[in-house]
Amino acid sequence: MTENKQITNVFIISDSVGDTGDQVARAAAAQFLDAHLRFSRYPFTQTISLLDSILKKAEREKAMIFSTFVDPKLNQRTKTFCQEKNLKYFDVLTPAIQLFAEETGLTSSNTPGRRHSLNENYFDKISAMEFAVTYDDGKDPAGFLKADIVLLGVSRTSKTPLSLYLANKGYKVANLPLVPKTQIPEEIWQVDRDKIFGLTTTKEVLNGIRRQRMISYGLNPDSSYADMDSINKELQFADDLFKKIGCLVINTANKSIEETATIIMESLA
């Protein structure tokens, strides 16, 4: 049996897309083949309230943080929090920005990614990002009644990344992981079924994803989490629930986040 290993959580937080921080973190991590790492990216973090909720989650999970903030206030908030909570923190951009400022004698524009116009759509997008973080993984069932979109699915059907992608499009998304023999929150039955989307996949794809996840954590890939019989039961439980609700079901096997999101957005149009 594979020996259990400690998992290190790595948060990449950015006020833009976060590609730079993600690439730096993964390039460094590649030098540690025996490490068991879980990467989570939080893009478009452009308000103190959203940042604070992510930092609190990082504290709970004892995560390392890689940031690519160009907003000095967000950067300082993260640095101070990590110092106070004794979290490992790497500021990817600030040293490089300071170097260019010293060399050119110019002041940084402090513009994350491309320039955003501060219109109503912009603030709706920020609000939606905050909503997605707050109501991720069914943490608060009240979110289902406030959401524009509710995602249901078994573990590893891309609920969280899809929620964040849709949030960046301005949709308030709540999601719920489905586990057999657990009670479905009453709020789900009060949501308009046209707002609910069931995410499913094939047993082969799910088995492959879960086995790789267990291996990356240093855990036994033949555990019940990746067992075919257990996966079949989970998928059947989810399918039965989707039929009972009468919601649109999307098979995410071999679909990108963008493809799945497009199906959802077109369904709502």
Q: Which residues contact 31 (CB under 8 A, 6 or more apart)?
A: none
* Binding-site annotation: residue ranges for ADP: 153-160
* Binding-site annotation: residue ranges: 153-160
Q: How far is CA 139 from CA 57, 177, 248, in A?
A: 12, 10, 23
Distance CA 16, CA 114 (A): 8
Q: Which residues contact 120 (CB under 8 A, 6 or more apart)?
A: none
Locate 5 and state its tokens: 């290993």
DSSP 3: P
Distance CA 110, CA 118 (A): 15
Q: How many residues does the chain have?
A: 269
With 0-12 / 13-18 / 19 or more C-beta atoms within 10 angstroms meaning exposed / middle / buried, residue 197 is buried
Distance CA 97, CA 112 (A): 12
Which residues in the chain belong to E strands, given as ranges? Answer: 8-14, 37-42, 64-68, 89-91, 149-153, 173-177, 196-200, 248-251
* Residue 137 CA from chain centroid, whole number: 10
